[in-house]
Structures are given as structure tokens and as C-alpha cells.
Amino acid sequence: MKVEHQNLAEAFSEFKVDKNINRPTMQKILEEVLSNLLKRKFNIEDDEAIKKSFNIIINVDKGDFEIWHNREVVADEDFKDALSQISLSDAQKIDEDFEIGEDVTDKISIEDFGRREVLSIRQNLISRIMDLEKNNIYEKYKDQIGEIVTGEVYNVWKKEILVLDDERNDLYLPKSEQIPSDRFRKGDTVRGVVARVEMKNGTPLVIISRTSPYFLERLFEFEVPEIFDGLITIKKIVRIPGEKAKVAVESYDDRIDPVGACVGMKGSRIHGIVRELKNENIDVINYSSNPQLYIQRALSPAKITSINIDEAKKRAEVFMQPDQVSLAIGKGGANIKLAIQLTGYDIEVYRDNVEQEEDVDLEEFTDEIDEWVIKEFQKVGCDTAKSVLRLSKEELLKRTDLEEETIDDVLRILKEEFED
């Protein structure tokens, strides 16, 4: 049984080191485990009786422990309680000088409990340590929601990625929280923000995200000292992860240009953020409490002519030159979608009534152009013939998902319409 005692001490030491549990906590856990074992052996429930009859000495540094049993010597015929008494004959086997009424303190060997009890101690210890570790992980990350964490990719699955932090704790990066162009392999370093923490079947589940606006906000704090120091405030961030983002910033110090500070000299500050976000296009704009000015900035890079705002309905009608409409809407409607989210206004874009009588709606060409092709042009703000013709073929290829041959056919059809 000597080996069992050694294994138990080694397990104790192993948990103390590997689980990074502090000395008082480890000592308390082992004391409770050993006390429960003594309760079962002597068939008692009273904690005070255990404390009175036993001294449990824990050596946290060495990963070892001792149990000492305190009993009173009584005459053999008066012996009734093995917990608090020892018969004179048994006491004199320890030391022949013992007499009735004296106190005996002798060491209990762990081997005295038997193999099954020793295994029980080890299993109980493992269970208690694991429960404590799980609770520590939960408490640690619950306080870090919205903060950036860095870890190493340990396993890549179809629906999620397992990431290990610097203490080898499990973090999960679901596919839904990854930027669409993210590609990770085992051993890669990955960054994200703690999105949520929950207990699932007694196990902490830490979910990290790379698509959250908080991730972009934390990246700006790292790259822009003025934001970290509170000189510049991020008022709001909206994102289409991996594609486009808009960030509204404000400075209360007139000497600081918030947009310039965020972008940096020749884009030096924002470049690292864009690279981390897989070339996500980031528009940084000055926040304004003036809704007209704020909407105008939110629709950047498009230039507007005029705005009509209905405050009650939180609606804005924006008018602009025909060649600016597609810029305001953006590829796939991304620019106007983010502008709506950023400002909180339902924005509708209209062309100024220029050459309206000479233009032709694209839907008039459904007998020559497929409807799905027309819809592709409408997505980028081109819903009339001349709005398409004003853009070069290269620009149309860049803004739409159409093939060159298709665009050539459309341009030919539209040009023939006006030549006729």
C-alpha cells in the first residue's frame, strides 16, 4: 500500500502545479476530502468531532499530508468509542508507559484505509479540483466579455474551431463568429473577443468572436493611443464582417482630428486593423449630433445634393446626382445598409430629376436582358439605362458580380436604345 500513498501524494502535487491553484485553496480542498474519508471510516457526521479527534497536516509545497488521531486511554473494559478512546492494552502497544487517562496521538497511515478508500480519495480530489477549475474558468472569462483574447488553434472542425489560451483552457470560435475569408490551421495564432460565457452540463463554454463590433473597437484601442487614453471616443461601429465597416468617432478636443488620428499617417494605424480583418474596408467618419450632417457623412464616399428628414418616422430622403447613387448604395447595397445601421434612420436614395425624360428604366429591357442581370445592376444603384452607361465597363465589373461578356451585351443593348 506504500505505492498507493505515493501515488496519492504525486496526484496532489500534480494538481497543485498543473492547475495553478493557490496554496490555501488546495489545502482546504484536501482537508475536506480527508475529513469526509474519516467520517465514512468512523461512521460520523459531526465536523466538530473530526476536528477534535484528528489533526490533518497538509504540506502543500511537498504535495504530502499526515493524519494524527487524538484519543484518551481507558481501561479495556471501559472502551466504547473508537473515535475518542483507545484501550489501555492497545495504547501500551504504542508505548508501554501509557496509563489510563492520558492522551495518545498516533499517526494514521493512509494504508490503514484500504485500497478502495485510497482510490476514493484520489477520485474525490480529482473531482473537486476539476469543479474548481471549471468555476475559475467561468468566473475569469465572465469578467472578460467584450475583451480581446489570443490563443492557439488546436483543432479545426466543420462548424467551429477549438482554441487554447495561454493556460491551455478551451475556447471555441464558431463558424458563425468567423470572418468569411478566415482560414485557420492547427498551430495558428488567432485573436477574437469573448462574446459569451455559459455553463453547459457543468462545463464552462467560452465563445469568442471575430465578427463582433467589439472586436473592431478593441483593435482600434490597441492601434490608436488617443482612443485608449479617452481623447477620442468611438460612438458606434457597424460591420458586414470581412466586407465593410463604418466607425463613427468623436473628439472633445478641437486640436485632435479624430478621423486622421484613427487612420494614421498614410494609413499606418488602420492598416494593421484591415489586415487582421482580412482586408475589410473600413470607413472612419466624424460623428455629429446634426442628423443631416451625420447622414451625409455616413453615406460617404457618395456626395449628396439635399436631404429631407422626417424625425417622427426616423426617415431620410436623400437626393444626389445620378453618378453618385451607385456609390451611396455600394456593392450589394452594403454602403447604404451600414449607413442606416449607423445613423438609425431609414434612408432612401433618389436621383435629382436630371434627364429623367430621356432615360429608360432597366425593367423596360426584360425582353432582351434577363431579370436576374437587371437585379444585379439594381443592387448597385443602377436602375435606369443611363445610370449604367455613365459607368465604365471596368467600374461595372468591379461593383457587380457579373461576367465581362454579360456586361458587354448589356452595354451594347442600352447604347443601341439611345442610338435609335
pLDDT in tens, 177-217: 999 999 999 999 999 999 999 988 888 999 999 999 999 99
Contact predicate 290/296, CB 8 Å: no
CA distance 27 to 22: 9
pLDDT at position 3 is 42
φ, ψ of residue 360 in degrees (nearest 5): -130, 130
CA distance 222 to 412: 51
- The mean pLDDT value for 44-65 works out to 79
Q: What does the mean pLDDT of the chain come to?
A: 86
Cell 490503514 belongs to: 112
State the cell numbers at 35: 475529513
Which of 291, 287, 293 has its CA nearest to residue 346?
A: 291
C-alpha 197 chain-centroid distance: 8
DSSP state of 400: S
Q: In what order do the strands lie in the sheet with 306-310?
A: 306-310, 315-320, 346-351
CA distance 240 to 242: 6
pTM comes to 0.65
Contact predicate 291/316, CB 8 Å: yes
Note the pLDDT tens digit of each residue in 254-281: 889 999 999 999 899 999 999 999 999 9
Radius of gyration of the chain (CA): 37
